[in-house]
């Protein structure tokens, strides 16, 4: 399809800007009063004015433009609310499936010590270790996921493994000697 002449495009843009500037406050208020948060409102408003842009020839030229935009916003809001209900229903269904299908693992004392040592690590180190061990990614793949160099991953993973080994040793010492606490400087 050939593009419209420049004069027609300029006229179309001028007309849209005129409609937008004249009615954005009214539509914003209408949508804000019918949504739960500003992010949802922004999405609905954007979709409303996108529809106005696409169907600009259907937008009345007089005061009826505001009413036409209310009608579009109303339909966009209905679609938005249906989507929210579908997502909520899916979330509830997944929650119910997980509640009946998932059983937390039962740990023996060794596994509990490993879990405790792992949870003592900073989140960034836990992420590195899980990308390597659980996801089976190599240094280059982890570098892509984290947005850093392969050498940075290699060094960070070495440090994370070393810290994990130290935390595991600390957990095992506490378990073997319950009243003795291990600190960075040794036994306390």
Note the helical H segments in the chain.
6-32, 38-54, 64-101, 109-120, 123-133, 139-146, 150-176
- Using the predicted structure, report yes or no on whether residue 7 has a pLDDT greater than 80: no
- Using the predicted structure, report yes or no on whether residue 107 has a pLDDT greater than 70: no
Instruction: Tell me the per-residue pLDDT of 86-103, one tens digit each, with 9 for 90 and over.
Output: 999 999 988 888 877 766
Confidence of residue 1 (pLDDT cuts 50, 70, 90): low
Tokens of 154: 């290699």
Taken in order of first residue, the domains within the chain and their CATH numbers are 6-101 (1.10.1740.10), 109-187 (1.10.10.10)
Closest CA to 12 of 20, 23, 22: 20
Radius of gyration of the chain (CA): 29
Distances (CA, A) of 85 to 34, 40, 59, 79, 80: 15, 14, 30, 10, 9
pTM here is 0.52
Instruction: Tell me the per-residue pLDDT of 22-59, one tens digit each, with 9 for 90 and over.
Output: 999 999 999 999 999 999 999 999 999 999 999 999 99
Confidence of residue 9 (pLDDT cuts 50, 70, 90): confident
Q: How far apart are CA 137 and CA 145, in angstroms?
A: 10
Angle at 156 between CA 150 and CA 157, to 5 degrees: 90
- Using the predicted structure, report yes or no on whether residue 151 has a pLDDT greater than 60: yes
Pairing type for strands 186-187 and 182-183 reads: antiparallel
């Amino acid at each position: 399809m050939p593009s419209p002449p420049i004069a027609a495009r300029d006229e179309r843009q001028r007309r849209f800007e005129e409609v937008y500037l004249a009615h954005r406050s009214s539509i914003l208020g209408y949508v804000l009063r019918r949504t739960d948060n500003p992010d949802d409102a922004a999405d609905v408003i954007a979709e409303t004015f996108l529809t106005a842009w696409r169907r600009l020839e259907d937008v009345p030229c007089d005061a009826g433009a505001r009413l036409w935009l209310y009608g579009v916003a109303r339909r966009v809001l209905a679609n938005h609310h249906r989507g929210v209900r579908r997502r909520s229903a899916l979330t509830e269904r997944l929650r119910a499936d997980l509640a009946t299908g998932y059983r937390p693992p039962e740990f023996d004392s060794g596994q509990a010590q490993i879990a405790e040592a792992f949870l003592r690590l900073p989140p960034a180190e836990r992420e590195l270790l899980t990308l390597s061990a659980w996801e089976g990614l190599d240094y280059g793949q982890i570098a892509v996921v984290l947005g850093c160099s392969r050498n940075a991953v290699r060094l960070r993973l070495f440090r994370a493994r070393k810290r994990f080994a130290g935390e595991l040793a600390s957990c095992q010492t506490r378990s073997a000697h319950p009243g003795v606490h291990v600190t960075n400087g040794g036994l306390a």
